[in-house]
Structure 1
Amino acid sequence: MPKTREFTWNGMFADRAIPSSNGCLEFAGYKNEEGYGRIMRLGSSWWAHRLSYVLANGPIPEGMVVMHLCDNPSCVNPEHLKAGTVADNVHDMESKGRARKRKGSAHQNSKLTESDVIHIRTTNESVTNLAKRLGVTSTLVSRIRNGFTWKHVELNHAL
Protein backbone atom coordinates (compact mmCIF):
# COMPACT_ATOMS: atom_id res chain seq x y z
CA MET A 1 0.00 0.00 0.00
CA PRO A 2 1.35 3.45 -0.92
CA LYS A 3 2.54 5.68 1.89
CA THR A 4 0.02 8.35 2.92
CA ARG A 5 1.80 11.63 3.45
CA GLU A 6 0.89 14.19 6.08
CA PHE A 7 -1.08 16.94 4.34
CA THR A 8 1.32 19.75 5.27
CA TRP A 9 3.92 21.53 3.17
CA ASN A 10 6.74 19.51 4.74
CA GLY A 11 4.78 16.28 4.46
CA MET A 12 4.14 16.78 0.76
CA PHE A 13 7.35 18.49 -0.37
CA ALA A 14 10.23 17.82 2.09
CA ASP A 15 11.66 15.01 -0.05
CA ARG A 16 10.35 16.36 -3.38
CA ALA A 17 11.75 19.91 -3.39
CA ILE A 18 15.40 20.34 -4.33
CA PRO A 19 16.96 23.73 -3.50
CA SER A 20 18.66 25.54 -6.38
CA SER A 21 21.14 28.41 -6.34
CA ASN A 22 18.47 30.97 -7.34
CA GLY A 23 16.29 30.21 -4.29
CA CYS A 24 13.83 28.04 -6.16
CA LEU A 25 12.72 24.72 -4.72
CA GLU A 26 12.58 22.48 -7.79
CA PHE A 27 9.82 19.88 -7.74
CA ALA A 28 11.45 16.46 -8.16
CA GLY A 29 8.32 14.46 -9.00
CA TYR A 30 6.50 14.08 -12.30
CA LYS A 31 6.56 17.18 -14.55
CA ASN A 32 4.79 17.82 -17.84
CA GLU A 33 6.57 18.97 -21.00
CA GLU A 34 6.37 22.61 -19.86
CA GLY A 35 8.00 21.80 -16.50
CA TYR A 36 4.91 22.06 -14.26
CA GLY A 37 4.85 19.42 -11.53
CA ARG A 38 1.89 17.12 -10.85
CA ILE A 39 1.30 15.52 -7.49
CA MET A 40 -1.26 12.95 -6.34
CA ARG A 41 -2.97 13.17 -2.97
CA LEU A 42 -5.60 10.56 -2.04
CA GLY A 43 -6.64 10.02 -5.64
CA SER A 44 -6.72 13.72 -6.55
CA SER A 45 -4.23 15.24 -8.94
CA TRP A 46 -2.83 18.70 -8.16
CA TRP A 47 -0.46 21.05 -9.92
CA ALA A 48 2.51 21.02 -7.54
CA HIS A 49 2.85 24.82 -7.36
CA ARG A 50 -0.86 25.22 -6.56
CA LEU A 51 -0.68 22.61 -3.80
CA SER A 52 2.42 24.32 -2.40
CA TYR A 53 0.59 27.65 -2.36
CA VAL A 54 -2.50 26.15 -0.66
CA LEU A 55 -0.48 24.37 2.02
CA ALA A 56 1.55 27.51 2.79
CA ASN A 57 -1.13 30.21 2.41
CA GLY A 58 -4.57 28.62 2.53
CA PRO A 59 -7.11 28.37 -0.29
CA ILE A 60 -6.51 30.09 -3.60
CA PRO A 61 -9.00 32.98 -3.77
CA GLU A 62 -11.89 32.41 -6.17
CA GLY A 63 -11.10 33.48 -9.73
CA MET A 64 -7.36 33.61 -9.06
CA VAL A 65 -4.41 31.63 -10.42
CA VAL A 66 -1.05 30.92 -8.78
CA MET A 67 1.76 32.84 -10.45
CA HIS A 68 5.48 32.05 -10.35
CA LEU A 69 7.37 35.24 -9.45
CA CYS A 70 10.59 33.40 -10.37
CA ASP A 71 9.31 32.35 -13.84
CA ASN A 72 10.28 28.74 -13.08
CA PRO A 73 7.32 26.37 -13.62
CA SER A 74 9.04 23.63 -11.57
CA CYS A 75 9.42 25.85 -8.50
CA VAL A 76 7.31 25.03 -5.43
CA ASN A 77 8.90 27.58 -3.08
CA PRO A 78 5.91 29.34 -1.44
CA GLU A 79 7.93 32.57 -1.34
CA HIS A 80 8.08 32.49 -5.15
CA LEU A 81 4.33 31.95 -5.58
CA LYS A 82 1.58 34.57 -5.58
CA ALA A 83 -2.15 34.59 -6.24
CA GLY A 84 -3.24 36.83 -9.08
CA THR A 85 -5.83 37.14 -11.81
CA VAL A 86 -5.37 35.63 -15.25
CA ALA A 87 -4.85 39.20 -16.49
CA ASP A 88 -2.09 39.71 -13.88
CA ASN A 89 -0.40 36.51 -15.07
CA VAL A 90 -0.63 37.50 -18.75
CA HIS A 91 0.71 40.98 -17.97
CA ASP A 92 3.58 39.42 -16.00
CA MET A 93 4.44 37.10 -18.91
CA GLU A 94 4.30 39.89 -21.47
CA SER A 95 6.33 42.32 -19.36
CA LYS A 96 9.06 39.69 -19.01
CA GLY A 97 9.02 38.70 -22.68
CA ARG A 98 7.62 35.23 -22.07
CA ALA A 99 4.33 35.52 -23.96
CA ARG A 100 3.88 32.94 -26.69
CA LYS A 101 1.81 34.79 -29.24
CA ARG A 102 1.25 32.55 -32.20
CA LYS A 103 0.41 34.30 -35.43
CA GLY A 104 -1.33 33.13 -38.54
CA SER A 105 -1.49 29.44 -39.34
CA ALA A 106 0.70 28.69 -36.29
CA HIS A 107 -2.24 29.64 -34.05
CA GLN A 108 -4.10 26.53 -32.89
CA ASN A 109 -7.51 27.90 -33.94
CA SER A 110 -6.51 29.13 -37.38
CA LYS A 111 -8.61 27.93 -40.30
CA LEU A 112 -6.50 29.78 -42.85
CA THR A 113 -2.94 29.62 -44.10
CA GLU A 114 -0.73 32.48 -45.20
CA SER A 115 -1.34 31.36 -48.80
CA ASP A 116 -5.11 31.73 -48.24
CA VAL A 117 -4.55 35.27 -46.96
CA ILE A 118 -2.47 36.19 -50.00
CA HIS A 119 -5.21 34.82 -52.24
CA ILE A 120 -7.87 36.81 -50.33
CA ARG A 121 -5.88 40.00 -50.81
CA THR A 122 -5.08 39.49 -54.50
CA THR A 123 -8.23 37.95 -55.97
CA ASN A 124 -11.33 39.66 -57.38
CA GLU A 125 -13.51 36.85 -56.00
CA SER A 126 -16.34 38.14 -53.82
CA VAL A 127 -16.00 38.23 -50.05
CA THR A 128 -19.07 36.01 -49.69
CA ASN A 129 -17.76 33.32 -52.05
CA LEU A 130 -14.31 33.34 -50.44
CA ALA A 131 -15.81 33.03 -46.98
CA LYS A 132 -18.00 30.08 -47.97
CA ARG A 133 -15.18 28.32 -49.81
CA LEU A 134 -12.64 28.82 -46.99
CA GLY A 135 -15.05 28.06 -44.15
CA VAL A 136 -14.74 31.42 -42.41
CA THR A 137 -16.97 34.45 -41.96
CA SER A 138 -17.32 37.19 -44.54
CA THR A 139 -16.33 39.65 -41.79
CA LEU A 140 -12.98 37.89 -41.40
CA VAL A 141 -12.38 37.92 -45.15
CA SER A 142 -13.17 41.66 -45.25
CA ARG A 143 -10.85 42.38 -42.31
CA ILE A 144 -8.04 40.43 -44.01
CA ARG A 145 -8.61 42.15 -47.35
CA ASN A 146 -8.60 45.60 -45.69
CA GLY A 147 -5.45 44.91 -43.69
CA PHE A 148 -7.00 44.87 -40.20
CA THR A 149 -5.86 41.33 -39.43
CA TRP A 150 -3.12 38.93 -40.59
CA LYS A 151 -0.90 42.03 -40.76
CA HIS A 152 2.24 39.87 -40.61
CA VAL A 153 1.57 38.55 -44.13
CA GLU A 154 3.22 40.84 -46.65
CA LEU A 155 2.25 40.66 -50.31
CA ASN A 156 5.56 41.92 -51.67
CA HIS A 157 7.32 38.78 -50.37
CA ALA A 158 4.69 36.50 -51.84
CA LEU A 159 4.46 37.80 -55.39
Structure 2
Amino acid sequence: MKLTEDQKKLIQRDGTVLNVYTGKPRKKDFNQQGTPVIKMTIGDKSRKVSVMKLVALAHLPNPEGHTIVIPKDGNNKNCHVDNLKWVSSADFMKATALTYTVHGEEHVQAKLTEDDVRFIRSSFFTDTQLARNLNVSRSAISCARNRISWKHVK
Protein backbone atom coordinates (compact mmCIF):
# COMPACT_ATOMS: atom_id res chain seq x y z
CA MET A 1 0.00 0.00 0.00
CA LYS A 2 1.45 3.36 -1.02
CA LEU A 3 0.25 6.74 0.16
CA THR A 4 0.12 9.88 -1.96
CA GLU A 5 1.57 13.12 -0.63
CA ASP A 6 -1.98 14.43 -0.07
CA GLN A 7 -2.84 11.35 1.98
CA LYS A 8 0.36 11.68 4.02
CA LYS A 9 -0.68 15.22 5.03
CA LEU A 10 -3.89 13.80 6.58
CA ILE A 11 -1.94 11.40 8.82
CA GLN A 12 -0.41 13.11 11.84
CA ARG A 13 2.79 11.95 13.57
CA ASP A 14 0.80 11.31 16.79
CA GLY A 15 -1.58 8.86 15.09
CA THR A 16 -4.42 11.27 14.40
CA VAL A 17 -5.97 10.71 10.97
CA LEU A 18 -7.85 13.68 9.55
CA ASN A 19 -10.99 13.55 7.45
CA VAL A 20 -10.20 14.54 3.87
CA TYR A 21 -13.30 16.76 3.61
CA THR A 22 -13.60 18.41 7.04
CA GLY A 23 -10.01 18.29 8.28
CA LYS A 24 -11.28 17.00 11.63
CA PRO A 25 -9.91 13.85 13.33
CA ARG A 26 -11.54 10.63 12.14
CA LYS A 27 -13.18 8.21 14.56
CA LYS A 28 -11.06 5.17 15.41
CA ASP A 29 -12.29 1.65 16.09
CA PHE A 30 -10.20 -1.10 17.66
CA ASN A 31 -9.44 -4.57 16.35
CA GLN A 32 -9.19 -7.68 18.56
CA GLN A 33 -5.61 -6.89 19.57
CA GLY A 34 -6.61 -3.40 20.72
CA THR A 35 -4.94 -1.70 17.77
CA PRO A 36 -6.66 1.45 16.49
CA VAL A 37 -8.06 1.06 12.98
CA ILE A 38 -9.99 3.36 10.66
CA LYS A 39 -12.35 2.48 7.85
CA MET A 40 -10.98 3.42 4.43
CA THR A 41 -12.09 2.89 0.88
CA ILE A 42 -9.31 1.42 -1.22
CA GLY A 43 -10.29 1.02 -4.83
CA ASP A 44 -13.94 0.06 -4.63
CA LYS A 45 -13.71 -1.84 -1.32
CA SER A 46 -14.14 -0.54 2.20
CA ARG A 47 -11.79 -2.04 4.76
CA LYS A 48 -10.29 -1.34 8.16
CA VAL A 49 -6.66 -0.24 8.14
CA SER A 50 -4.29 -0.08 11.11
CA VAL A 51 -3.52 3.48 12.22
CA MET A 52 -0.01 2.29 13.18
CA LYS A 53 0.57 1.14 9.61
CA LEU A 54 -0.72 4.43 8.17
CA VAL A 55 1.52 6.51 10.46
CA ALA A 56 4.52 4.34 9.59
CA LEU A 57 3.81 4.56 5.86
CA ALA A 58 3.48 8.34 6.07
CA HIS A 59 6.34 9.21 8.45
CA LEU A 60 8.69 6.28 9.14
CA PRO A 61 11.48 5.33 6.73
CA ASN A 62 11.52 1.65 5.76
CA PRO A 63 14.89 1.03 4.08
CA GLU A 64 14.72 -2.77 4.46
CA GLY A 65 11.25 -3.04 2.94
CA HIS A 66 9.54 -4.69 5.94
CA THR A 67 5.75 -4.94 5.84
CA ILE A 68 4.91 -5.18 9.55
CA VAL A 69 4.75 -2.34 12.08
CA ILE A 70 4.85 -2.84 15.85
CA PRO A 71 4.87 -0.45 18.83
CA LYS A 72 8.25 -0.27 20.61
CA ASP A 73 6.61 0.01 24.05
CA GLY A 74 4.12 -2.83 23.43
CA ASN A 75 1.14 -0.47 23.77
CA ASN A 76 -1.03 -0.97 20.68
CA LYS A 77 -2.88 2.28 21.33
CA ASN A 78 0.30 4.39 21.20
CA CYS A 79 0.50 5.15 17.48
CA HIS A 80 3.02 8.01 17.68
CA VAL A 81 5.70 7.66 15.00
CA ASP A 82 8.46 7.73 17.66
CA ASN A 83 6.95 4.56 19.17
CA LEU A 84 6.73 2.57 15.92
CA LYS A 85 9.20 0.36 14.10
CA TRP A 86 9.17 -1.73 10.94
CA VAL A 87 9.99 -5.40 11.57
CA SER A 88 10.42 -8.65 9.69
CA SER A 89 7.96 -11.51 10.05
CA ALA A 90 10.39 -13.35 12.35
CA ASP A 91 10.75 -10.31 14.63
CA PHE A 92 6.98 -9.90 14.65
CA MET A 93 6.46 -13.49 15.78
CA LYS A 94 8.85 -12.92 18.70
CA ALA A 95 7.13 -9.67 19.64
CA THR A 96 3.67 -11.21 19.32
CA ALA A 97 4.44 -13.96 21.78
CA LEU A 98 5.56 -11.41 24.37
CA THR A 99 3.39 -8.40 23.69
CA TYR A 100 0.02 -9.23 22.23
CA THR A 101 -1.13 -12.04 24.49
CA VAL A 102 -3.94 -10.30 26.35
CA HIS A 103 -6.44 -12.14 28.53
CA GLY A 104 -9.45 -11.34 30.65
CA GLU A 105 -10.40 -7.79 31.54
CA GLU A 106 -7.32 -6.43 29.75
CA HIS A 107 -8.70 -7.54 26.38
CA VAL A 108 -10.17 -4.63 24.45
CA GLN A 109 -13.44 -6.50 23.79
CA ALA A 110 -13.95 -7.94 27.28
CA LYS A 111 -17.48 -7.43 28.58
CA LEU A 112 -17.12 -9.50 31.73
CA THR A 113 -14.88 -8.93 34.74
CA GLU A 114 -13.13 -11.60 36.78
CA ASP A 115 -15.70 -11.00 39.54
CA ASP A 116 -18.48 -11.61 37.00
CA VAL A 117 -16.87 -14.90 36.00
CA ARG A 118 -16.56 -16.03 39.63
CA PHE A 119 -20.23 -15.15 40.12
CA ILE A 120 -21.22 -17.08 36.96
CA ARG A 121 -19.35 -20.18 38.12
CA SER A 122 -20.90 -20.15 41.58
CA SER A 123 -24.41 -19.18 40.45
CA PHE A 124 -27.47 -21.40 40.20
CA PHE A 125 -29.10 -19.08 37.65
CA THR A 126 -29.48 -20.35 34.10
CA ASP A 127 -27.16 -19.20 31.34
CA THR A 128 -30.05 -17.28 29.80
CA GLN A 129 -30.83 -15.42 33.03
CA LEU A 130 -27.17 -14.56 33.58
CA ALA A 131 -26.75 -13.44 29.98
CA ARG A 132 -29.67 -11.03 30.31
CA ASN A 133 -28.44 -9.63 33.63
CA LEU A 134 -24.82 -9.23 32.49
CA ASN A 135 -25.72 -8.05 28.97
CA VAL A 136 -23.68 -10.72 27.15
CA SER A 137 -24.54 -13.71 24.99
CA ARG A 138 -25.62 -17.07 26.39
CA SER A 139 -22.55 -18.66 24.81
CA ALA A 140 -20.26 -16.20 26.64
CA ILE A 141 -21.84 -17.35 29.93
CA SER A 142 -21.52 -21.01 28.98
CA CYS A 143 -17.87 -20.64 27.93
CA ALA A 144 -17.00 -18.81 31.16
CA ARG A 145 -18.87 -21.32 33.32
CA ASN A 146 -17.25 -24.34 31.61
CA ARG A 147 -13.76 -22.78 31.63
CA ILE A 148 -13.51 -22.65 27.85
CA SER A 149 -12.79 -18.95 28.28
CA TRP A 150 -11.46 -17.18 31.35
CA LYS A 151 -9.30 -20.21 32.19
CA HIS A 152 -6.99 -18.08 34.31
CA VAL A 153 -9.76 -17.21 36.79
CA LYS A 154 -9.92 -19.53 39.80
The structure with the larger Rg is 1
Please report the TM-score for the alignment, with normalisation by the length of structure 2. 0.48
Q: Report 1 or 2 for greater relative contact order, CA contacts < 8 Å, sequence distance ≥ 6.
A: 2
Please report the TM-score for the alignment, with normalisation by the length of structure 1. 0.47
